[in-house]
Structure formats: C-alpha cells, structure tokens
C-alpha cells in the first residue's frame, strides 16, 4: 500500500510521515531530500544549474543513492549540508527543471515497487502516485507554519526573526505553487488534514486512523 503526504513547507509533513511509517512498521521516503541531494551534488561538481541535460544525468546517476531513509552522494551521507543555505538558495533551479523531475519521479516509482510506503513531498499524490490507496494533503495556516519553523531554526541561525522566516516561507510557497511541472496542489481525491490545532502525535493518530479505515474499506489486510 502507498500513502502519499503532500503539503507546503512547515505543514509538518516530515515528522508526520516518519511517525506514521514508524507506527505501521513501513518505510518512509522523503522526496525533498532527493531534490536537495541533486542540488548539493550539482554545486559540488560545479554543474551549471541552467544545464538541464547535465542536471538530469546527475539525478539519474548511480553516484546519487536513494532508498527510503537513505541519501548518499558518492557513498557518503551528506548530513546537515543537505539543509544548508547553499542548497536552499540553489534548489529552485533544480526542482523547476522538468528533466530532473522526470528522472526523480522514475526513481521514486521504482523505490516503491512491492513495498508498503509512506512517501512525502509536493507532487506525490498528483504526479508520482496518482493511484495511491490513500492521499493526504497536510495544511496549516501561514502563521503557524512560520512559528514552527522559527522554533526549529532560531538556535541554528542567531539573529533570525519571525518576519524573516515568514518572508522565506512566502517565497518558497510561491515557488512550490507556481512551478510549471510538479507544482504543489491538493490531489483531487485527497483527505485534507489541518494541523493548526494538532500536536505531532495528534497528526500521526489521525493518519493511522485514515490508513485503518482505507484498509478495511478496501479489504486490505
Ligand atoms: O521538503 P523540502 O523542503 O526538503 O523540499 C526541498 C525542495 O524540494 C523544495 O523547494 C520543494 O519545492 C522541492 N520538492 C519538490 N518536489 C518534491 C519534494 C520537494 O519540488 N516532491
């Protein structure tokens, strides 16, 4: 069975997806980490971010290793570099590139073959797994998302303000929603879960309940 979890930055997707996978004993695929790894590897190799052919070749190359819970570049876990400022600044060019998206969509589908998977991103229910048994769209208000991110980042980025975080978030939302291919949208038959008033455990409980009812409705063991 495949469960897709899409939603904007700060909606709590990653913790929810990991929590759900842990509760079910399934695997969790963070597709944002795949776009981040392509970006980091391109920067390290000095690839021109306007060169779609080179970027797509990189995205499909065995030097980038992707498995649920695992990202390696040339055999090494990139650690916190994956979420560093250089990647954040360059990732739009990579995520906007249709040839990169094509290569990663293919890899995501191959990774999902024959396993139970919780997969999270922006296009998982709309483009990558439109026939998934359960599609969830996580939402939260602009302010709640920004406050969550501020709490996470304040210690790591001295001097950062809530207004800075809001501006960054608005830019990312515009990029994610305005992208020509793989734009963030609510999948047609998704269940929307508003996380504003839920704790992380509350979100996971809600998702576990949705999986259970989908399984009993579909006769899945
Ligand atoms: O989820 P995260 O914030 O780590 O994603 C990093 C970047 O990758 C974002 O800019 C997002 O738009 C992009 N992305 C994407 N498609 C996905 C997952 C992430 O374009 N399926």
Specify whether 174 is located in the same domain as 130. yes
Our answer on whether the CB atom of 122 is closer than 6 Å to any ligand 1 atom is yes
Cβ partners under 8 Å of residue 213, min gap 6: none
- Testing ligand 1's pocket by substitution, the residue of 6, 103, 122 carrying the most ligand atoms inside 8 A of its CB is 122
CA distance 131 to 109: 12
215 CA → ligand 1 middle, Å: 29
**Which of 53, 86, 113 is where one domain is finished?**
113
**Which of 113, 141, 165 is where one domain is finished?**
113
Our answer on whether the CB atom of 9 is closer than 6 Å to any ligand 1 atom is yes
CA distance 10 to 152: 10
Specify whether 22 is located in the same domain as 129. yes
pLDDT at 220: 58
Specify whether 107 is located in the same domain as 152. no
Collapsed DSSP state (helix, strand, coil) of residue 37:
helix
Q: Which of 139, 129, 117 shows the shortest CA–CA distance to 182?
A: 129
220 CA → ligand 1 middle, Å: 31
Residue 219 placed within a domain = no
Per-residue pLDDT of 138-195, as tens digits, reads 999 999 999 999 998 888 888 999 999 999 999 999 999 999 999 999 999 999 999 9
Per-residue pLDDT of 69-98, as tens digits, reads 999 999 999 999 999 999 999 999 999 999
Q: Domain range spanning residue 67?
A: 31-113
Structure tokens of 34? 């795949």
Over range 29-44, report the average pLDDT: 98
What pTM value is reported for the model?
A: 0.95
Q: Which of 38, 101, 34, 35 shows the shortest CA–CA distance to 66?
A: 34
Closest ligand 1 atom to residue 124 Cα is: 21
Burial class, 220, CB count within 10 angstroms (exposed 0-12 / middle 13-18 / buried 19+): exposed
CA distance 36 to 85: 11
């Amino acid at each position: 069975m495949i469960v897709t979890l899409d939603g904007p930055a700060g909606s709590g997707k990653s913790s929810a997806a990991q929590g759900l996978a842990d509760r079910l004993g399934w695997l969790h695929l963070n597709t944002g980490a795949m776009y981040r790894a392509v970006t980091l590897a391109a920067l390290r190799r000095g690839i021109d971010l306007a060169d779609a052919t080179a970027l797509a070749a990189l995205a499909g190359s065995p030097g980038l290793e992707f498995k649920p819970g695992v990202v390696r570049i040339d055999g090494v876990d990139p650690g916190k570099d994956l979420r560093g400022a250089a990647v954040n600044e360059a990732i739009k060019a990579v995520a906007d590139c249709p040839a990169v998206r094509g290569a990663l969509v293919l890899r995501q589908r191959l990774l999902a073959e024959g396993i139970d998977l919780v997969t999270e991103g922006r296009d998982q229910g709309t483009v990558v797994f439109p026939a998934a048994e359960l599609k969830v769209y996580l939402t939260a208000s602009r302010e709640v998302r920004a406050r969550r991110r501020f709490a996470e980042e304040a210690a790591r980025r001295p001097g950062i303000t809530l207004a800075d975080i809001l501006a960054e978030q608005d830019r990312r939302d515009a990029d994610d929603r305005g992208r020509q291919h793989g734009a963030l949208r609510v999948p047609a038959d998704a269940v929307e879960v508003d996380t504003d008033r839920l704790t992380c455990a509350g979100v996971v409980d809600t998702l576990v309940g949705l999986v259970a009812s989908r399984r009993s409705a579909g006769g899945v063991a």
